[in-house]
Amino acid sequence: MSIQRITPVEPPYSPPVQAVLDRIMPEGVPPLSLFRTLAVNERVFLRVMAGGLLDRGSISLRERELVILRTTARLGSEYEWGVHVTFFSGKAGLTAENIAATRGEPGAAGAASLSSREQLLLRAVDELVDGARLSDPLFEELSQSWSPAQLVEIVSLTGFYHLIAFATNAFQLAPEPFAALFSAFGQSCA
């Protein structure tokens, strides 16, 4: 196990950091290590939190979580993937097979638990992660299922969680004690 590279801030937090933590953390849940690590640079923390995409967007909660889980799984961010599995998969109606599909190779057993539309989302994340673009054929397929505003959200979610994966991996954040682990959900596609 690697040692976390940056020591997270501890309370008392500055008033702006505390205000954000009060807004985003469920009552009784201590601030996540990721948030406390980003808060080492208060400006970055505040800007990242201001740019969050966990509000009601133009795509469904289920689609949002599939994009986030696939992005963080592909980038090896067990930390962020596990937090999202734990906090959001139930609300998004994701089954264990759906969650496993976010970790598996395209066409693997768990992928059959996803609709063709949802499998298309995973393909979009894969192309964005692998090449930072969408091919013309895939973009055409996506355009038949999602509006331009929704496509902007899908690409933006993938990019935002790419940033989060960079942070969790670069700073070697250990999974939160309560969070799901990769090992509980099959082989990696990363």
Same-domain pairing of 32 and 113: no
Same-domain pairing of 69 and 162: yes
pLDDT for res 52: 76
Rounded to the nearest angstrom, the gap between the alpha carbon of residue 77 and the centroid of all alpha carbons in its chain is 9
CATH code for the domain of 176: 1.20.1290.10
Assess if residue 2 is contained within a domain.
Answer: no
Same-domain pairing of 33 and 70: no
Same-domain pairing of 121 and 152: yes
- Helix ranges, 132-180 (H): 136-145, 148-170
Burial, 86: exposed, middle or buried (Cβ in 10 Å; 0-12, 13-18, 19+)?
middle
Q: Which residue has the higher pLDDT, 39 or 53?
A: 39
Contacts of 166 (CB under 8 A, 6+ apart): 75
**Boundaries of domain holding 32:** 15-50
pLDDT digits (tens, 9 = 90+) for 136-152: 999 999 999 999 999 99
Domain count, the chain: 2
Same-domain pairing of 36 and 118: no
Same-domain pairing of 83 and 141: yes
Assess if residue 99 is contained within a domain.
Answer: yes
Assess if residue 7 is contained within a domain.
Answer: no
pLDDT for res 112: 84
Determine if the pTM surpasses 0.75.
yes
Same-domain pairing of 44 and 111: no
Cα separation of 98 and 114, whole Å?
Answer: 6
Assess if residue 55 is contained within a domain.
Answer: no
Confidence of residue 49 (pLDDT cuts 50, 70, 90): very high
